[in-house]
């Protein structure tokens, strides 16, 4: 038995591996683009399966003589099998192919046609005439990109982010009443409550959540029915509306027909905007991760104000060493997302006339960013934040040593005298009250009353009482 079968397309015949379901155009792409190891992301493949299923349903409604019930059922069953992962090895194409993603669209058309015909026992489905009916790669690929982007943001990124915000809220409550030294420029600053510091982290994440939610609605707008250049040639009236309605029923997301399909084919501004929200989330996660590893530095020769979970040995040569590895992982993810944002932004700028031909690289980078952030946040929450504990004694020790509580003396003795008090205390190894009394600015008891850290956690000057 031959290991190959002969397939044909508009360019002629080509040998295709007999044990695979793809056809001629997929094979040509495999041979013409042996570039890199990056393949089309699984989220995009799932979106394409949903799209082909929705197209079959819509064509059956609008063009029943061409999309018969038998053809519809075969396409839907093949798409459902793909969604279950039964054809995982049938989508081998490189990201680095035609910029419109035409070959990936045809890969789907060919696999679905092959699967349907095998089930029917006859050549009933044609990849272009039936599976691709009322579509073009030029509207199918941009639609699949938006379906996959909206789905991963809604079902992966936002839930992981919500869990992270919830963990921050829990940490705020658990750490109320704990005072510590604030820090700016990596230098000592005035006191802060640990719960206030955590609230800053929570607020950053909540802002990122709102940014992602703001970026979602444009992604629900799909260019299906635009066909090649946005005019809808060879697509029945109402196809875009019907297909979006079907996709909404499949996914539970509010997909709709794009109002301006010419824009949807040539512009990726909605994806660039949404990835910008992911970049903002990456920046916030980087900041939080860096704060945590600074605060956990030590355990004896660093700040040592928090303890992070010891998940694994930290060194192959230094026994007992433990590192903030979850913080490092989330920081590396942030770096990757920021790099991806540059790629998405450049790609979005490259629309020419009626089409952007940087679609596969945009989809690849967008989905990688979203997937990394979702997975990273879940791991960070479970393996770092869930076990984070304050080192209260170290916080209190550092709070007592800081000189920046001298800020509370400024309303009483003025900025310059307060600065002189701090410098004297530092130079001579004195406490601030001792330095203030030595300089003749305040009695030690009066200075001590003004320097209570708990009085410095909210707006307003500290109450000034006479030491007498």
Question: Which residues are known catalytic residues?
Answer: 185, 315
Could you list the beta-strand ranges (E) of 400-440: none
- What secondary structure does DSSP assign to 92-158, as a single string? --BSSS-TT-HHHHHHHHHHHHHHHHHHHTS----IIIIITTT--HHHHHHHHHHHHHHHHIIIIIH
Which residues are CB-neighbours of 259 under 8 A, at least 6 positions away?
221
Q: How crowded is the C-beta side of 443, counted as CA atoms within 13 Å?
A: 8
Assigned token pair, 66:
């061409």
Q: How crowded is the C-beta side of 428, counted as CA atoms within 13 Å?
A: 15
Cis peptide before 299 (omega within 30 of 0): yes
Q: How far apart are CA 18 and CA 1, in angstroms?
A: 10
Q: Are 467 and 448 in contact (CB under 8 A)?
A: no
Alpha carbon distances (Å) from 106 to 3, 126, 128, 220, 328: 23, 11, 8, 24, 41
Q: How far apart are CA 303 and CA 367, in angstroms?
A: 37
Q: How far apart are CA 278 and CA 74, in angstroms?
A: 38
Select from 362, 395, 385 the least CA-distant residue to 169.
Answer: 385
Maximum CA extent, the chain: 106
- What secondary structure does DSSP assign to 205-248, as a single string? HHHHHHHHHHHHHHHTEE-TT-TTTSS-TTS-TTHHHHHHHHHH
Q: How far apart are CA 124 and CA 33, in angstroms?
A: 30
Select from 67, 276, 234 the least CA-distant residue to 139.
Answer: 234
Q: Are 401 and 183 in contact (CB under 8 A)?
A: no
| Neighbour tally for 116: CB within 10 Å | 25
Alpha carbon distances (Å) from 266 to 150, 232, 385, 393: 19, 15, 43, 60
444: left (phi over 0), alpha (psi -120 to 50) or beta: alpha
């Amino acid at each position: 038995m031959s290991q190959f079968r002969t397939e044909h397309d508009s360019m002629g015949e080509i040998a295709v591996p007999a044990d695979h379901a793809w056809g001629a155009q997929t094979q040509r792409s495999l041979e013409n683009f042996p570039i890199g190891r990056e393949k089309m992301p699984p989220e995009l493949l799932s979106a394409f399966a949903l799209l082909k299923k929705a197209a079959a349903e819509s064509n059956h409604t609008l063009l029943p003589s061409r999309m018969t019930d038998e053809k519809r059922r075969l396409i839907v069953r093949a798409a459902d099998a793909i969604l279950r992962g039964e054809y995982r090895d049938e989508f081998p194409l490189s990201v680095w192919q035609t910029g419109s993603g035409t070959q990936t669209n045809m890969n789907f058309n060919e696999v679905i046609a092959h699967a349907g015909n095998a089930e029917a026992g006859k050549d009933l489905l044609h990849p272009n005439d039936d599976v691709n009916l009322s579509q073009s790669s030029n509207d199918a690929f941009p639609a699949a990109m938006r379906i996959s982007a909206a789905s991963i943001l809604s079902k992966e990124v936002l839930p992981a982010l919500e869990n992270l915000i919830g963990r921050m809220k829990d940490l705020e409550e658990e750490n109320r009443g704990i005072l510590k030294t604030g820090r700016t420029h990596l230098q000592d600053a005035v006191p802060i409550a640990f719960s206030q510091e955590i609230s800053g982290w929570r607020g950053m994440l909540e802002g990122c959540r709102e940014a992602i939610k703001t970026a979602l609605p444009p992604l629900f707008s799909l260019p299906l029915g635009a066909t090649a250049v946005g005019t809808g040639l060879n697509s029945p009236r109402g196809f875009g509306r019907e297909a979006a309605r079907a996709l909404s029923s499949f996914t539970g997301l509010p997909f709709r027909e794009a109002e301006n399909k010419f824009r949807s084919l040539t512009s990726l501004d909605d994806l660039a905007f949404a990835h910008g929200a992911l970049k903002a989330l990456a920046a916030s996660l980087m900041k939080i991760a860096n704060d945590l590893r600074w605060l956990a530095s030590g355990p004896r020769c660093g700040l040592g104000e928090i303890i992070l979970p010891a998940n694994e040995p930290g060194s192959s040569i230094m026994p007992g060493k433990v590192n903030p590895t979850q913080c490092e992982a989330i920081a590396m993810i942030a770096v990757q997302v920021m790099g991806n944002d540059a790629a998405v932004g450049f790609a979005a700028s490259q629309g020419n006339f009626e089409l952007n031909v940087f679609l596969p690289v945009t989809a690849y980078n967008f989905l990688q960013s979203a997937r990394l952030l979702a997975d990273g946040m879940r791991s960070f929450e479970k393996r770092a934040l869930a076990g984070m504990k304050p080192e209260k004694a170290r916080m209190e020790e550092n709070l007592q040593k800081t000189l920046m509580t001298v800020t509370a003396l400024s309303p009483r003795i003025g900025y310059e005298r307060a600065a002189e008090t701090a410098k004297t205390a530092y130079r001579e190894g004195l406490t601030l009250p001792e330095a203030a009394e030595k300089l003749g600015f305040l009695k030690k008891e009066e200075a001590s009353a003004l320097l209570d850290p708990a009085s410095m956690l909210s707006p307003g000057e500290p109450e000034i009482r006479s030491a007498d």
